[in-house]
């Protein structure tokens, strides 16, 4: 029988731990303010931003909301980011992606001060992760590590295969598994003999962006499978990059979608904010 890795429960556990720590720091007069910027009113982004603000309120972190119109120019957005960089009352800055097409996303992310980059996307934080220095770590892969650890799944010495090499999931995921002493292979769209490689994995992390792509033929009997993908199917139901029903019986543990990796991203964002609080 396989274990279902319960991201909803684990993310709640993390938020409750953070809430307690933040309360203690608040008593000592230490606070944290997260500035959340959204440009335009993409409905999915509005839901994500709303959830982030709710999580801040739950944990005891202040949030400042900047809801800018779709027509906001790149210069106006960069000016706001620079002002927030220089505002000592603001501890973290988050720009909700995607941005409208007329704004260069990379330019904006590069402008956020690495010391306030709670999303962990700035090259300085990416570089720190790769050379083992402290810094903000991309939230979704950090959440995957917590799911594994808090489910009693050892990473050290395991064959870990990451399917996907994006800057926000696949690459930092590989670095984090390496930091935990896993033996890591990264696969992508040009990988040859993909199934041969994924079938070697003790821990398979799938972040490929293709609904139900991974079926049982990609998975070794007894492997741990982590599904980062999120999609809505034709009936508006959520599904992942893994075909859960056919894969789960062949695993020892697997994350569901929804209720697996998804809830962990916000919990780890809150953890990044907490780590950015004055000690």
| Contact positions vs ligand NAP (CB under 6 A) | 140, 163-166, 168-170, 187-191, 194, 207-210, 228-231, 241, 261-262, 265
Residues in the chain: 279
We find the least distance from the C-beta atom of residue 18 to ligand NAP, in angstroms, to be 18
Nearer to ligand NAP, 153 or 230 (CB): 230
CA distance 126 to 240: 26
Q: Spell out the residues 6+ positions from residue 100 whose beta carbon is closer than 8 angstroms to its own.
A: 39, 40, 70, 72
Cβ proximity to ligand NAP, 100 vs 259, nearer residue: 259
Q: Just list the catalytic residues.
A: 52, 96, 119
Taking the complex as a whole, the smallest distance from the CB of residue 233 to ligand NAP amounts, in Å, to 13
Q: How far is CA 47 from the centre of its chain?
A: 16
168 vs 47: CA distance, rounded Å: 20
Q: Are 78 and 111 in contact (CB under 8 A)?
A: yes
For the chain, report the end-to-end CA distance as a whole number of angstroms: 44
């Amino acid at each position: 029988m396989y274990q279902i890795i319960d991201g909803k429960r684990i993310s709640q556990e993390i938020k409750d731990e953070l809430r307690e720590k933040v309360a203690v720091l608040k008593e000592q007069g230490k606070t944290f303010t997260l500035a959340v910027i959204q440009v335009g009113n993409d409905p999915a982004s509005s839901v994500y931003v709303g959830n982030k603000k709710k999580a801040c309120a739950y944990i005891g972190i202040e949030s400042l909301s900047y809801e800018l119109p779709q027509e906001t120019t790149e210069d106006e957005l960069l000016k706001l980011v620079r002002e927030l960089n220089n505002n000592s009352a603001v501890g973290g800055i988050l720009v909700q992606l995607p941005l409208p097409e007329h704004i260069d996303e990379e330019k904006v992310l590069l402008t956020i001060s690495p010391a306030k980059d709670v999303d962990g996307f700035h090259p300085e934080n990416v570089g720190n992760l790769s050379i083992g220095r402290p810094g903000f770590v991309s939230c979704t892969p950090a959440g995957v590590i917590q799911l594994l650890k808090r489910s009693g799944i050892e990473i050290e010495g395991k064959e870990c295969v990451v399917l996907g090499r994006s800057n926000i999931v696949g690459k930092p995921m590989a670095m984090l598994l390496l930091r935990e002493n896993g033996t890591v292979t990264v696969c992508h769209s040009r990988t040859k003999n993909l199934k041969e490689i994924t079938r070697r994995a003790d821990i398979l992390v799938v972040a490929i962006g293709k609904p139900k792509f991974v079926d049982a033929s990609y998975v070794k009997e007894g492997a741990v499978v982590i599904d980062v993908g999120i999609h809505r199917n034709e009936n508006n139901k959520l599904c992942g990059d893994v075909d859960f029903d056919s894969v789960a019986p062949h695993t020892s543990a697997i994350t569901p979608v929804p209720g697996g990796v998804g809830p962990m991203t916000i919990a780890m964002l809150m953890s990044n904010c907490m780590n950015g609080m004055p000690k």
